[in-house]
């Protein structure tokens, strides 16, 4: 018998993403066993939040449920009622972050351990932050329900700390405009731009300053460690983690380099570069990631001025740090410090 399209070797996600999905399907008076069976999903796998689940199978379940119920809003409705805590490790990582913006950052940077072959990023393009989400595997054809569902989950992270009325300024979706477009706009409370390059929530800096009620930096570090250990990219991540440790330990010198990292890790720089590419990373990205995270953390601690922070991150002059920080966050370091006092 031929293996299904989502057999071993194809992308997976942690089954926490399917929390409550079985009962949600049954609430629509659909045959759960028939839908899961056609999608090749073992019902038992839905009970363990850290069990690997076929991403293609998951998307197929959503598509089948929408078509068999005759409800194009199936994924939209499932995502809008999905609490961040139901997402398992990645959800608790967001909830343990400092505030809404920090939650978006940690969500974006750790989502790859929750779901494979997926690009999630937080970027800034004046005047909006863009929290983006896109499945990269072209073999997964039925992804429209998943897109609105996932953006709904992301939206609920913001609503957890900012209140139920929080809405993005704009929503982008890859899919073509459908007949239910008004329902999508109503659910997000924002205009939707269809046929976009990626799926995204767009929001202004001042709309992401609310503190997380359960912010816990110690728990956050533990959760981030756990998702890297229990989630995907476990073996590949160790090289990136070691390179990141080298960068963090030497960044203040201003002389971190791929060659230096290679010597520290006892491998040729070309091999290190290749290993990083294999796990969808680059040395330059890791340097910026460390500078961004450490810059944010040190700035909010309030113990050092901007110039001291710049030099501690290896910048040759404070203005270079100010330019980089403004590019990352859309505001100057001093303005950011005032906006995000916790």
CATH code where residue 332 lies = 1.10.10.60
Q: Which of 107, 112, 98 is nearest to 129 (CA)?
A: 107
Domains: count for the chain: 2
- Of the pLDDT bands very low, low, confident and very high (cuts 50, 70, 90), residue 233 is low
Asked if 94 and 157 count as a contact pair (C-beta separation under 8 A), the reply is: yes
User: 91-116, pLDDT tens digit by residue?
Assistant: 999 999 999 999 999 999 999 999 99
**pLDDT at 122 (0 to 100):** 93
Tell whether the model's pLDDT for residue 87 goes beyond 80. Answer: yes
Residues 138 and 182 in one domain: yes
Residues 328 and 274 in one domain: yes
Our CA dihedral for 88, 168, 296, 93, rounded to 10 degrees, sits at 0
242 is a domain residue: yes
Residues 93 and 189 in one domain: yes
More confident residue, 5 or 138: 138
Asked if 290 and 240 count as a contact pair (C-beta separation under 8 A), the reply is: no
DSSP 207: G
DSSP 202: E
36 is a domain residue: no
Residues 98 and 192 in one domain: yes
Range of the domain at 81: 72-207
Buried b vs exposed e over 60-99: b needs ≥16 C-beta within 10 Å? bbbbbbbebbebbbbbbbbbbebebebbbbbbbbbbbbbb
Q: Determine if residue 8 is left, alpha or beta; phi over 0 gives left, psi from -120 to 50 gives alpha, anything else beta.
A: beta
More confident residue, 290 or 235: 290
Distance (Å) of CA 292 to CA 38, 99, 238, 333: 45, 16, 21, 11
- Of the pLDDT bands very low, low, confident and very high (cuts 50, 70, 90), residue 5 is very low
More confident residue, 279 or 122: 122
**pLDDT at 21 (0 to 100):** 96
Average pLDDT over residues 170-177: 97
The Cα–Cα gap between 337 and 41 comes to: 47
Residues 185 and 252 in one domain: no
Locate tokens 């040190």: which residue?
298
Residues 163 and 239 in one domain: no
Tell whether the model's pLDDT for residue 6 goes beyond 60. Answer: no
User: 33-76, pLDDT tens digit by residue?
Assistant: 999 999 999 999 898 998 999 999 999 999 999 999 999 999 99
**pLDDT at 9 (0 to 100):** 65
User: 248-305, pLDDT tens digit by residue?
Assistant: 999 998 889 999 999 999 999 999 999 998 877 899 999 998 999 899 989 988 899 9
**pLDDT at 238 (0 to 100):** 67
The Cα–Cα gap between 51 and 62 comes to: 18
Distance (Å) of CA 190 to CA 2, 166, 170, 185: 44, 10, 5, 5
How many other C-beta atoms are found inside a 10 Å radius of the C-beta of residue 221? 11
- Of the pLDDT bands very low, low, confident and very high (cuts 50, 70, 90), residue 235 is very low
Q: Quote the distance between the C-alpha of residue 203 and its chain's center.
A: 16
The Cα–Cα gap between 32 and 46 comes to: 12
175 is a domain residue: yes
Question: Across all residues in the chain, what is the average pLDDT?
Answer: 92
Residues 85 and 180 in one domain: yes
């Amino acid at each position: 018998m031929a293996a299904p399209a989502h057999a071993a070797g194809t992308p997976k996600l942690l089954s926490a993403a399917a929390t409550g999905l079985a009962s949600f399907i049954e609430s629509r008076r659909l045959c759960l066993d028939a839908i899961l069976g056609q999608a090749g999903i073992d019902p038992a796998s839905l009970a363990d939040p850290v069990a690997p689940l076929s991403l293609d199978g998951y998307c197929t379940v959503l598509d089948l449920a929408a078509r068999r119920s005759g409800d194009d809003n199936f994924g939209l409705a499932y995502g809008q009622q999905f609490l961040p805590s139901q997402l398992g490790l990645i959800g608790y990582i967001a909830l343990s972050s400092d505030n809404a913006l920090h939650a978006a950052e940690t969500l974006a940077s750790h989502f790859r351990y929750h779901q494979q072959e997926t690009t999630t990023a937080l970027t800034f393009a004046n005047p909006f932050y863009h929290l983006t989400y896109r499945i990269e595997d072209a073999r997964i054809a039925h992804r429209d329900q998943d897109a609105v569902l996932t953006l709904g989950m992301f939206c609920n992270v913001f609503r957890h700390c900012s209140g139920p009325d929080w809405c993005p300024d704009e929503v982008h979706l890859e899919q073509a405009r459908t007949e239910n477009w008004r329902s999508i706009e109503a659910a997000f409370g924002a205009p939707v731009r269809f046929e976009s390059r990626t799926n995204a929530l767009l929001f202004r800096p001042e709309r992401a300053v609310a503190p997380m009620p359960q912010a816990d930096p110690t728990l956050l570090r533990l959760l981030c460690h756990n998702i890297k250990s229990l989630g995907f990219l476990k073996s590949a991540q160790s090289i990136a983690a070691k390179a990141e440790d080298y960068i963090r330990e030497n960044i203040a010198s201003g002389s971190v380099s791929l060659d230096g990292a290679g010597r520290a890790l006892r491998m040729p720089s070309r091999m290190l570069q290749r290993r990083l590419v294999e796990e969808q990373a680059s040395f330059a990205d890791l340097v910026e990631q460390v500078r961004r995270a450490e810059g944010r953390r040190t700035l909010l601690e309030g113990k050092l001025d901007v110039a001291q922070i710049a030099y501690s991150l290896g910048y040759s002059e404070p203005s270079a740090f100010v330019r980089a920080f403004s590019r990352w966050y859309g505001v100057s370091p001093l303005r950011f410090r005032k906006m995000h006092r916790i």
